[in-house]
Structure 1
Amino acid sequence: MFSGAQVALYPMTDDFVRVILGSLSALDPYRSRFRIETDDLSTLLVGPPPDLFPALRDLHVAASRGGLHCVMHATVSRGCPGEPDDPICTPIEGRTAETPLSERVEAALEAVQSAAPTGQDVAAQLSLYPLGASHHMDEIYGCIDLMKRSGVFGRAKNFCTTLRGDAGPVFATLGEAFLRFGSPEGHVAMDLTVSANSPSPA
C-alpha cells in the first residue's frame, strides 16, 4: 500500500517563515516511521495510515499555538494505484472488506471518544472520495453518520462537511474517516482544510 499526504500551512502573520519552519519540528517524533520531504509548496508525508492524522494534528497545533490564525490544507490518499507500494506504509489493521459498515462506524466512534484533548480549538472542512467502489455512496453515508455522532459535527455544506471542536477529537474523527471507509485495499482520497484561531468564526 501507499499512503500519505501533501500538506501546506498558511499562518496569517508577517513572521510566517519562522512559524512554518518552527512547526515542522512537531514532525520529529514521526520521522523514524515516515518519509518526509519539504519544498517551497508543501510537505509530503508518506507512512502508515494510522499515524498520518496524529502527525497532521501535531503539525497544525504547533503552528497555531499562541492564538495565531493558521490554516492547513492537505490532500490525503491511500492505496493510489499510480504509486508503488512502500514498505513503510503498513496495511490497515483490524478490518477487511467484509467488515460491516455499522461495525466500522461504532469502532470509529469508540476511537474518537478516547481521543485526548489538545487545548486548541479548530474548524475543519473535508470531502472524502472512496474511489473505484461501486457502493461508494454507502461508504460516504457511513462516514457522514460517524461525523454526525462524533461530538464535533459542525454542519453539512455543498460538497463537504464541517467539524468544530478541540483538535484532539476533530483530527481523530478525520483519521477514522480516512481509515474506516472505502475498501481497506482500495484507493481513498480526502481533501481537507483546517483552521485555528480565525478572527471571523462562522
Structure 2
Amino acid sequence: MFSGAQVSLYPMTDGFVDVILDAVRAMDPFAEKLRIETDDVSTLMVGPHEALFDAMHALFDSAAATGHHAVLHATVSRGCPGEPDDPICAGPLDAGTFGPLEERQQQAMTEVRQTPASGLRADGQFSLYVPGATIHMDEVYGCIDFLKQAGVFAKSKNFCTKLSGDSSAVFEALHQAFIRFGSPAGHVALDITISANSPSLKK
C-alpha cells in the first residue's frame, strides 16, 4: 500500500539555511528505506510507515535541538487511490483486518509508553481524515480517546486536536494514529503542524 508524506520545515532564525540543511541530513539514516526528494517547497518521503515517522522525528529534533523556534508541517497519506502501489511501501498494513477499537487503542498506548524520551518538547496540532469510511467519526473519536490516555492530548480545537509532550511520545502517537485508525485497506491522511521552542510558551 502506498504511503508517503510531504514535509516542510520552517526555522525562525537568520541562520535558517544551516538549520534546514542539518535537519535534512538527519534523515540520511533512512535513505535506504525511503525515497526522499527535496525541492524548494517541501520534502517528499515515500516508504514504510515506521521509517516515515522516524525520519520526520529526526528532522524535527534536529531543528528543535538548536533552541530556535521551528515549525514542521506535514501531510501524511496511506492508501491514496490516486497514487500507485510501490514495493518500497510494503508493510503489515497490506494484509488482515483491524481488531476492535478498544484493542487498537491499547496497542497504540503500549507503543507510545514504550518509546524512549528525547528530552525535547513538541507542541502541535493535527487532524485525522478517514475518507469514505462509513464509521469515520467512530474512528476519529476513538483516536482522540487514545491520545488522551497516552498523555499527549492538550485540548480540542476547531477542526483539529492539540498535542503536547516529549517529541518522541508526540511523534509515536501520530504514528499510531496513522496506522491504528481507519481501514487498513482504505485511504487515511493526517495534517500535522508541530512546533519547537515557541516564544509563546515563555509568556
The alignment covers a number of residue pairs equal to 202
- The Cα of 1:67 is off from its aligned counterpart by 1.0
Give me the TM-score of the superposition, normalised by structure 2.
Answer: 0.96
Summarize deviations over 1:68-118 as a string: whole Å, max 9, x none: 110000000000000000000013359833411111000000000001111
Is the contact between residue 37 and residue 44 of structure 1 (CA under 8 Å) also seen in structure 2? yes
- The answer for unaligned runs of 5 or more in structure 1 is none
- The answer for unaligned runs of 5 or more in structure 2 is none
In the alignment, the residues of structure 1 paired with residue 74 and residue 66 of structure 2 have an alpha-carbon distance, to the nearest angstrom, of 22
In the alignment, the residues of structure 2 paired with residue 51 and residue 140 of structure 1 have an alpha-carbon distance, to the nearest angstrom, of 24
1:1-202 equivalence runs, <5 A: 1-93=1-93, 96-201=96-201
Summarize deviations over 1:169-197 as a string: whole Å, max 9, x none: 11110100001000111100010000000
Point out 4+ residue stretches in structure 1 off by more than 6 angstroms.
none
Is the contact between residue 98 and residue 184 of structure 2 (CA under 8 Å) also seen in structure 1? no
Summarize deviations over 1:114-152 as a string: whole Å, max 9, x none: 011111101020000011111101110110111111111
- The Cα of 1:50 is off from its aligned counterpart by 2.2
Percent identity for Structure 1 against Structure 2? 56
Task: Tell me the secondary structure at the aligned position of residue 6 of structure 1.
Answer: strand
In the alignment, the residues of structure 1 paired with residue 94 and residue 162 of structure 2 have an alpha-carbon distance, to the nearest angstrom, of 27
Is the contact between residue 94 and residue 184 of structure 2 (CA under 8 Å) also seen in structure 1? no
In the alignment, the residues of structure 1 paired with residue 94 and residue 20 of structure 2 have an alpha-carbon distance, to the nearest angstrom, of 35
Task: Tell me the secondary structure at the aligned position of residue 67 of structure 1.
Answer: coil
Query: In structure 1, what residue type is equivalent to 2:175?
Result: G
Task: Tell me the secondary structure at the aligned position of residue 87 of structure 2.
Answer: coil
- The Cα of 1:66 is off from its aligned counterpart by 2.6
Give me the TM-score of the superposition, normalised by structure 1.
Answer: 0.96
Query: In structure 1, what residue type is equivalent to 2:162?
Result: T
Is the contact between residue 93 and residue 179 of structure 2 (CA under 8 Å) also seen in structure 1? no
Is the contact between residue 7 and residue 72 of structure 2 (CA under 8 Å) also seen in structure 1? yes
Is the contact between residue 7 and residue 74 of structure 1 (CA under 8 Å) also seen in structure 2? yes
In the alignment, the residues of structure 1 paired with residue 106 and residue 87 of structure 2 have an alpha-carbon distance, to the nearest angstrom, of 29
RMSD: 1.4
Q: Do the aligned partners of residues 98 and 167 (structure 1) sit closer, same or farther apart at CA in structure 2, a change above 3 Å counting?
A: closer
